[in-house]
Structure 1
Amino acid sequence: MLKGFISLVVLSACYANAVEVVANAGTVAPHTIALQSRRSPKESPLRRRALSPSNVPLADFFLGTDLQWFGNITVGTPPQEITVVFDTGSSSLEFASTLCTTCPQVKFDSSKSSTFVDGGRTSSITFATGVGVDPVIGANYKLTLRSGRDTVGVGGFSAPGVSLFLITAQTPKFNIDPFSGIQGMGATAQGIFAALINQGLPSLFSLYVTPQAVGKAELTLGGTDSTKFTGTPIFASLPSGSGNTWQLASPGISVNGKTTTVLNTARTIIFDSGTSNVLFSTNTANAIYALISPDIKPNPNEAGTYGIACNRISSLPAVIDITFTSQSGKPFNLTIPSSELSVGPFASDPTLCQTLINAFDGLELVGGSLLKHYYSIWDVGGKRMGFAPAVGV
């Protein structure tokens, strides 16, 4: 991904990516695009071996605000159940193991699996975003890993010899996680997802990552669940050269129907299901907050964060519209509503509430605060993303 354990932005893979009100920007009515069938023709041999889509229930990690969604996979023979974040900001599978003496999560014991193969390679990985809503400082989100292979199962499917990494050590910031690891779901199929595609699973997945109050979040492998959205999804193509990154080009951003010279600028925005907050450059974050309230200020005690008095935040209008272009060339907006503005009080000052956008120069990224308002379709084979209004949100 592109984040911390929950928002996995691997630093090594990171993109080296006075307010003037210019105009009122009216809401762009979404242009609907019919969802194309991905079934194989009758004569195709794929039809005989195709796997049907499967739903994987997801739980919501919640500490005053929605933080992360995670579900079950199995590893080994006999299978051991492990909980992982299905993270579109990363591509590998890593989880706590009995080699990690300080990991408090449920741990995989490779000695009890008859199909485990030790890869013998050790490495470390540092993340640019972490669990929760606070910016990463230095290398406080770091994992030490050992390579291996084993049988991995998810959603009733399984595949042998899947590449994976055992966590042998982790920094204390990970200890709060209720899940054991991360299953990368990047824009290029790898690991278990690639293996299932080779078995005949259609090369797409969908996410219904709901607020805790709505519940029933799910991942659908190999298709969509039409009971979880309304209307027809709108699709947008990934830019050329996106590689393993789920990202879309955006011509501009508006806040409460207004934009500025800074916001009305083309940019590429990454979609990361493992990140809670929104990350924008310092100039963009400042421009957005200036259109919400001049009293939203950076918090010098926590670099990259902003805040305002908690007794004021609920009354602030903060509708953030990010414009994209559909495959048919029509503009459409994805909206972060005012209800997402507050991510809770700062630990250092409970009277001051943190706001959802963090400043992070070199990276433009949206996470769960946007995704939980839409049913999202991640079409690996078609190199595109689709969005429709989520049911119940």
Structure 2
Amino acid sequence: MTSSSSSTQVKALAWLTLLGLVAGACAALHRIPVRRSGKYVRTQQSLIAEREHVWRKYNLLQSNVSSNTTTAGNYTVETLSNVLNLQYFGKISIGTPPQYFLVQFDTGSSNLWIPSVNCISVDCYYHTKYSSAASTTYQANGSAFSITYGSGSVAGTLSTDVVTVAGLKIVAQTFGEATTETGTGMQGASFDGIFGMAYSSLAVDGVQPPFYNLWSQKLVDAPVFSFYLANNGTSEVSYGGELILGGSDASLYAGKLVYAPVSSQTYWQFQMDAVTLGGTTLCTYCQAVADTGTSLLIAPYAIYEKILTMLNQRVNCSDIAALPTLIFTISGVPFQIPPSAYIVSSDGSCTLGIQYLQGADFWILGDIFIGRYYTEFDLGNNRLGFASTNSGSVLGADIWKICCLVALLGLWKLFNLQN
């Protein structure tokens, strides 16, 4: 064998190895298409409704308040939809053959539930419903489940079936099959159900949350997931970002992630160093919850009152640029929320996008925060990571195209080496 032919074989072997790695990455791409939905106009009334939804969710609704796929590297990515920066949701399937549902990926709860074909509540009427009789992989559980949201509730039976998210099949996932939904406000939601991603200790009836099973069944490489939420908000519904299962995509954020340890393994709760508004300290060593199922920023009531006083109670659209910046300091690093983000404009009027909690002493950082800062939820190390998003990045969305291009170039190079 000549030196030249030996060198050619070594090069060919190297390219084959590279192609194998690329093919593995490409084969793991699981882009889930998103459904498009109608336009949502934010008003003062809708902000109050959103606040009441949060009160229900955290069981803080007062009795006197009425209620009217792809992958990045080896990381599986779920495409999301963003309805005017309000609701983020993606598609999953349950059963065999698959029955498809739009679910809100919610780090503020832990259960997966969807409407049952047996649900006759108004809240179920306009949504896709699960039929156990139509699935060959359905397993009866029979236990009753009930999730209370203040004055609202979801109830039904627990069922077990195959749940597929981003092309990953979770075997024997137990979920809530809702037969009644009352006072939840779900009849107007763009999604059918909830895909809870908080800690298992928060799960109703001791059900193992889906992400725990993704990890235990070795469907993801690490017990980590992350959110990139795109605040584009110009069209009725658009590409809303990505939920990445198994890690984080560094192409979607700038610099390094700043980590904070989880302080309570229920919600994704952590301690901030301080919160300031225009140089005035609102709180120090304050607790916060990172919640993708909440669109607003929620503050303890006393702090909310202080913010209103500082902003003179009213928000004038012409004065937004002159308003102070809200800063959350986490692990020594300031994370800024400019007034253009915490002020919501709609139909020529402007409203404060911060609401309040009574009876609670923690902040809730919803999509106003997570939409600006890439957020990693590290279940293995019990920590959260934050970094500024690369809002103009398309790498995460188009990585499958890049993989295919690299593979084609590799094949072309290999062909030339052999000839």
Q: Which TM-score tier does this pair reach, normalised by the shorter chain?
A: 0.7 to 0.9
Deviates more, 1:85-94 or 1:264-273: 264-273
In structure 2, relative to structure 1, the CA distance for the partners of 1:270 and 1:370 (3 Å cut) is same
Aligned to 1:163: 174
Instruction: Report the TM-score, using the length of structure 2 for normalisation.
Output: 0.69
Pick aligned residue for 2:248 from 224, 237, 242 = 224
SS of equivalent to 2:93: strand
**Residue 154 of structure 2 is aligned to residue 154 of structure 1:** no
Alignment-mate amino acid for residue 373 of structure 1: R
Give the drift of 1:157: 0.8
- Cα displacement string for residues 282-305 of structure 1 (whole angstroms, at most 9, x for unaligned residues): 1101222333x2133xxxxxxxxx
Instruction: Find the aligned partners of 1:81 and 1:100 in 2 and give their Cα distance.
Output: 17
SS at match of 1:382: coil
In structure 2, relative to structure 1, the CA distance for the partners of 1:312 and 1:170 (3 Å cut) is: farther
Partner in structure 2 of residue 55 of structure 1 = 77
Instruction: Name 1:247's counterpart in structure 2.
Output: 269
String of CA shifts for 1:261-289, please: whole Å, max 9, x gaps.
Answer: xx133221111010011111211012223
Give SS of 1:108's match. Answer: coil
| Map of 1:381 onto structure 2 | 380
Map of 1:112 onto structure 2: 134
Alpha-carbon spacing, 1:280–1:178, altered in 2? closer, same or farther (3 Å): same
Partner deviation per Cα, 1:112-157 (whole Å, 9 max, x = no partner):
01122232233432326xxxxxxxxxx1x43223211111111111
Query: In structure 2, how many angstroms separate the alpha carbons of the residues matched to 1:255 and 1:312?
Result: 19
Deviation at 1:208, TM superposition (A): 0.3
Deviation at 1:244, TM superposition (A): 2.4
1:382 offset after TM fit, Å? Answer: 0.7
How far 1:340 sits from its partner (Å)?
A: 2.1
Q: Which runs of 4+ in 1 moved over 6 A?
A: 3-6
Work out the number of aligned pairs and report it.
314
Q: Report the Cα distance in structure 2 between the residues aligned to 1:224 and 1:9, rounded to whole angstroms.
A: 31
- Going from structure 1 to structure 2, the CA distance change for 1:245 and 1:295 (only over 3 Å counts) comes to closer
Report the counterpart of residue 370 of structure 2 in structure 1: 371
Aligned partner of 1:333 in structure 2 is: 334
Return 5+ residue gaps in structure 1 as ranges. 15-50, 129-138, 297-307, 326-330
| Distance verdict in 2 for CA 1:108–1:223, change over 3 Å | same
Alignment partner of 1:205 is 2:204: no
TM-score normalised according to structure 1 size = 0.73
Q: How far did 1:199 drift?
A: 2.5
1:59 positional shift: 0.6
Aligned-pair distance for 1:322?
Answer: 1.1
Structure 2 residue 356 is the aligned partner of structure 1 residue 356:
no
Partner-residue secondary structure (3-state), 2:190: coil
1:175 is aligned to 2:196: no
Return closer, same or farther for 1:5/1:289 CA change in 2, 3 Å cut-off: closer
1:305-324 mapped onto 2 (5 Å cutoff): 308=315, 311-312=317-318, 314-324=320-330
Distance 2:52 2:83 in 1: 12
Query: What amino acid is the match of 2:338?
Result: P
Shifted more, 188-197 versus 360-369: the winner is 188-197
Equivalences for residues 54-73 of structure 1 within 5 A: 54-62=76-84, 66-73=85-92
Secondary structure of 1:238's counterpart equals strand
1:82 aligns with 2:101: yes
Distance 1:174 1:316 in 2: 38
CA distance in 2, matches of 1:117, 1:354: 48
Letter matched to residue 392 of structure 1: S
Instruction: Please say if 1:282 is aligned against 2:306.
Output: no
Secondary structure of residue in 1 paired with 2:283: coil
Which residue of structure 2 lines up, in the alignment, with residue 95 of structure 1?
114
SS in 1 for 2:239: coil
Residues 180-195 of structure 1: pairs in structure 2 closer than 5 A = 180-188=192-200, 190-195=208-213
Counterpart of 1:230, as a letter, is A
Change (3 A) 1:124 1:199: closer
Q: Cα gap change, 1:229/1:351 in structure 2, threshold over 3 Å: closer, same or farther?
A: closer
User: Using the alignment, how far apart are the partners of 1:122 and 1:8 within structure 2?
Assistant: 24
Aligned residue for 2:136, secondary structure, equals: coil
The answer to whether the Cα contact below 8 Å between 2:155 and 2:181 also exists between their aligned partners in 1 is: yes
Amino acid at match of 2:368: S
Alpha carbons 2:142, 2:157 under 8 Å: kept: yes
Task: Supply the AA of the counterpart residue of 2:147.
Answer: I
After TM superposition, give the deviation of residue 12 of structure 1 in Å. 5.2
Quick one: distance in 2 between partners of 1:6 and 1:57?
Answer: 25
Q: Secondary structure at the match of 2:328?
A: strand
1:295 aligns with 2:313: yes
Q: CA deviation at 1:13?
A: 9.4
Note the aligned Cα RMSD (angstroms): 2.7
Of structures 1 and 2, the one scoring higher in RCO (CA 8 A, sep 6+) is 1
Distance 1:174 1:186 in 2: 20
Letter in 2 for 1:342: I
| Contact 1:4-1:10 at 8 Å conserved across structures | no
- Change in CA separation of 1:390 and 1:351 when aligned onto 2, cut-off 3 Å: closer
Q: d(CA) in 2 for partners of 1:142 and 1:212?
A: 33
Cα offsets for 1:348-371 (capped at 9, x unmatched): xx7764311112121421100000
Which runs of no fewer than 5 residues in structure 2 stay unpaired? 1-49, 62-72, 202-207, 393-419
Distance 2:59 2:143 in 1: 18
Q: Which has the higher helix share?
A: 2
Partner secondary structure for residue 122 of structure 1: strand
Q: Secondary structure at the match of 1:197?
A: helix
